[in-house]
A and B are shown apart, each in its own frame.
Chain A
């Protein structure tokens, strides 16, 4: 029995294998579906909702939704682009993102996503939340002003590092990332080499003493928009 599955994304025929998500099959086919909380080395989070697509007319998260034979996926439509832009703008107003002096600038996935969508400024009012910075650890700091609650650090620390250092606490608009100690990152078992430190898409968890190491012009998203690597696969095939 073949476990090949064929379906379409925006009319383009895509073949994947049983058990894959839409995101996995699309990536393979060189079709980029924008995403923020997803990371190649981690289980999907399904929380940012930037990867929302329509499956047979219904909105679903591409990162968690399994593929099935003959299903119709819509990815690049005006309606969906509008939802995604709206979500990215929500993230900007929810936190305190001052890109101009953030050391993640140019390598930040949130910023890169805004550029890809052509967002110059969010349409929503800024919330200016009160958030804290924890620089107690010798090698790593966490600046919650820039955290987008993607949960990558939570999954990485739990599933890859096996340490469970990060976790969501509170709920709703009060949700934030807590650490496995009463107060200080220094009191956790975090090491600068942990996966949890590497995967943060924004400038919220950063290694110390390496900031601004890459000059402007050579940063990850200085020349090509986010997602270009995936789209290049399609161009080749």
Chain B
């Protein structure tokens, strides 16, 4: 028995009250302190938490940032996002491989530095980007690689890589990061600034029902992508029976090309916290959770500090805004690298210390959520909007935006445009207007809503960005004329293959098959029949998958097949002899010919 492992596990399990549902905190802690969660650690954790070792293994093996095998002291995780690759991430990766003398997925012989690829880390507007442990490194180039490697080799301290600081709160001691906010346009709702406590004091003077009515009257729709009416969700939850209720903020922000929640969390976490407390008041919950993606670990201390300040000001804890009985508190739950945990029921599973596989629905989280209690899950931006609605009134909010998508929306803009960054714009603008604003006039395509959204062609540029037309959770990726959309689609499929939780067959297997056939076409080996084959596969995956991941994962292929069909047909080959054009009969018989020492006889009919 390794004493160190035992000690660390005991310390961490004790800190989380030996509570099985807090497994994520324990395994994350073990990974951080010991560099891996070994079989021995799994056994110790299982013993301390009263579960089986294989359950711990199930959790550890699910999340990209946890591992059974030791990783380097510093792990460089290069963002594998389509946008970072457009900006040269592949060259940077090669340069790292050369400088370190290892391949992606390996660790240097001295165990100091590991190199990996990881799904989009939400720094697309300042890519190519990477995380070195929890430290974001932006604007990478091949020239910077040796400097980074030298620094890590010399100091072993990722923090030392931070030489310049980003603007705003990125420069504070608690964040101390080179990340920039890049807010290009401030709108009336999120970035207008609000006096701390203004919304909470207003809420405290209303009844919970009045708060819900206000949010409903404002017609606020969820900002995470699906656009479900927030007031309705709160009302369902309020009415659901349960001893306790919970409010969860979805700060998993995993959709490639999305990074607007990062900026809210950096610049105005107070607004989010007020929104969460208001939701708690409305539904009758006293406990909230912020589920923060592992990639944003560098923001955790900052968030904790903001919460502590709110406590001091009487805006969190008991007697909020001086109102007796208005109690609300929040804890942060860290993720560990799994896009699917942004799906609300998978997120709840993860908060309960399980693998991040979604649950069957119904029942929905508003009825059976965290710890099987009624739970509201909303996006970061949704809570911020709710706070502002309570502060300024539903009428004010509903005046902004379009008829069925009221208010402003934060857009995360990246790709081939001169002004990437975060924009707060009213819902309802057209793609053309959008491209004009972001300096993307040459665009041949825009990926609206990330890979799970739609790839639109220039004929669709007069379509409007809002839930009644082209919906988006905020990811807007611009493609210039030099880009191959099939390459992008293929990279998006890699993402879904990597991020599928593996629970259900169509998503687990189907996405691999879609990707295989798409690549065959990209390599100039596809036939016309392959397009039908792809369409059929996409349909099965989309219709039969259990959760939103599988139900949207064929979109990169399905929407390009629809809107950019010529990109496919251009690469198809025709069969001359009725055989598959990619099948080379002579080559296939090569070995046999050699072994037998005689040529085959072909019979022509």
Q: What residues of chain A have their CB less than 8 Å away from a CB belonging to chain B?
A: 44, 46-50, 52, 59, 61, 64-66, 82-83, 86-87, 90-91, 93-94, 123-125, 127, 148-149, 164-175, 178-182
Which residues of B lie under 8 Å from residue A179 when comparing CB positions?
54
Q: Are the C-beta atoms of B498 and A86 separated by less than 8 Å?
A: no
Q: Does B573 contact A (CB under 8 A)?
A: no
Which residues of A lie under 8 Å from residue B340 when comparing CB positions?
171
Q: Are the C-beta atoms of B546 and A46 separated by less than 8 Å?
A: yes
Stretch at the interface among B203-211, B297-305, B324-332, B536-544: B536-544
Q: Are the C-beta atoms of B360 and A173 separated by less than 8 Å?
A: no
Kindly list the 7 A-B residue pairs having the minimum CB-CB distance in the complex, ordered from nearest.
A175-B502, A180-B54, A90-B509, A167-B54, A172-B500, A164-B52, A169-B61
Q: Does B508 contact A (CB under 8 A)?
A: yes
Q: Which residue of A lies closest to B42 (CB)?
A: A182
CB proximity of B535 to chain A, nearest CB, Å: 12
**Per-residue 0/1 for B140-178: is the Cβ within 8 Å of any A Cβ (1 yes, 0 no)?**
000000000000000000000000000000000000000
Q: Are the C-beta atoms of A124 and B513 separated by less than 8 Å?
A: yes
Known pairs A165-B54, A173-B497, A180-B54; A83 contacts B502 (CB<8 A): no
Q: Are the C-beta atoms of A90 and B513 separated by less than 8 Å?
A: yes
Q: Are the C-beta atoms of B497 and A171 separated by less than 8 Å?
A: no
Known pairs A90-B509, A173-B508; A83 contacts B540 (CB<8 A): yes
Q: Are the C-beta atoms of B503 and A47 separated by less than 8 Å?
A: yes
Q: Are the C-beta atoms of A49 and B546 separated by less than 8 Å?
A: yes
Which residues of B lie under 8 Å from residue A124 when comparing CB positions?
513
Which residues of B lie under 8 Å from residue A127 when comparing CB positions?
512
Q: Which residue of A lies closest to B39 (CB)?
A: A182
Known pairs A61-B360, A166-B54, A172-B499; A46 contacts B504 (CB<8 A): yes
Which residues of B lie under 8 Å from residue A46 when comparing CB positions?
360, 504, 546
Q: Are the C-beta atoms of A83 and B55 separated by less than 8 Å?
A: no
Q: Are the C-beta atoms of B544 and A83 separated by less than 8 Å?
A: yes
Point out which of A52, A124, A172 has the most chain B C-beta atoms below 10 A from its C-beta.
Answer: A172
Q: Are the C-beta atoms of A172 and B497 separated by less than 8 Å?
A: yes
**Per-residue 0/1 for B529-553: is the Cβ within 8 Å of any A Cβ (1 yes, 0 no)?**
0000100110110011110000000
In the complex, what distance in Å separates the CA atom of A66 from the CA atom of B360?
11
**Per-residue 0/1 for B51-62: is the Cβ within 8 Å of any A Cβ (1 yes, 0 no)?**
111110110011
Known pairs A66-B362, A86-B536, A182-B39; A49 contacts B502 (CB<8 A): no
Q: Are the C-beta atoms of A48 and B54 separated by less than 8 Å?
A: no
Known pairs A48-B505, A52-B543, A52-B544; A178 contacts B62 (CB<8 A): no
From the candidates B501, B533, B537, name the one contacting A171 in the complex (CB within 8 A): B501
Q: Are the C-beta atoms of A172 and B540 separated by less than 8 Å?
A: no
Q: What residues of chain B have their CB less than 8 Å away from a CB belonging to chain A?
A: 39, 51-55, 57-58, 61-62, 338, 340, 355, 357, 360, 362, 497-506, 508-510, 512-513, 516, 533, 536-537, 539-540, 543-546
Query: What 11 additional pairs, Cβ within 8 angstroms, besides A90-B506, A169-B54?
Result: A46-B546, A49-B506, A52-B543, A59-B544, A90-B505, A91-B505, A93-B513, A123-B533, A167-B57, A168-B357, A173-B502
In the complex, 22 of the A-B residue pairs with CB atoms within 8 angstroms, ordered by the A residue number, are A44-B360, A47-B503, A49-B544, A49-B546, A59-B544, A64-B360, A65-B362, A82-B536, A86-B510, A90-B509, A91-B505, A94-B505, A149-B508, A164-B51, A164-B55, A168-B502, A169-B61, A171-B501, A171-B502, A173-B508, A180-B52, A181-B54
In the complex, what distance in Å separates the CA atom of A50 from the CA atom of B508?
14
CB proximity of B284 to chain A, nearest CB, Å: 26
Which residues of A lie under 8 Å from residue B362 when comparing CB positions?
65-66
Which residues of B lie under 8 Å from residue A125 when comparing CB positions?
513, 516
Q: Are the C-beta atoms of B543 and A83 separated by less than 8 Å?
A: yes
In the complex, what distance in Å separates the CA atom of A93 from the CA atom of B197?
58
Which residues of B lie under 8 Å from residue A48 when comparing CB positions?
504-505
Q: Are the C-beta atoms of B545 and A94 separated by less than 8 Å?
A: no
Which residues of A lie under 8 Å from residue B543 when comparing CB positions?
52, 59, 83
Which residues of A lie under 8 Å from residue B536 when comparing CB positions?
82, 86
Q: Are the C-beta atoms of B505 and A49 separated by less than 8 Å?
A: yes
From the candidates A86, A172, A178, name the one contacting B58 in the complex (CB within 8 A): A178
Q: Are the C-beta atoms of A175 and B508 separated by less than 8 Å?
A: yes
CB proximity of B452 to chain A, nearest CB, Å: 16
Which residues of A lie under 8 Å from residue B544 when comparing CB positions?
49, 52, 59, 83, 87
Which residues of A lie under 8 Å from residue B503 when comparing CB positions?
47, 168, 175
In the complex, what distance in Å separates the CA atom of A202 from the CA atom of B152?
51
Which residues of B lie under 8 Å from residue A65 when comparing CB positions?
362
Q: Are the C-beta atoms of B61 and A171 separated by less than 8 Å?
A: yes
In the complex, what distance in Å separates the CA atom of A176 from the CA atom of B503?
10
Which residues of B lie under 8 Å from residue A91 when comparing CB positions?
505, 509
Known pairs A46-B546, A82-B536, A169-B61; A149 contacts B506 (CB<8 A): no
From the candidates A44, A64, A83, A171, name the one contacting B62 in the complex (CB within 8 A): A171
Point out which of A49, A170, A175 has the most chain B C-beta atoms below 10 A from its C-beta.
Answer: A49
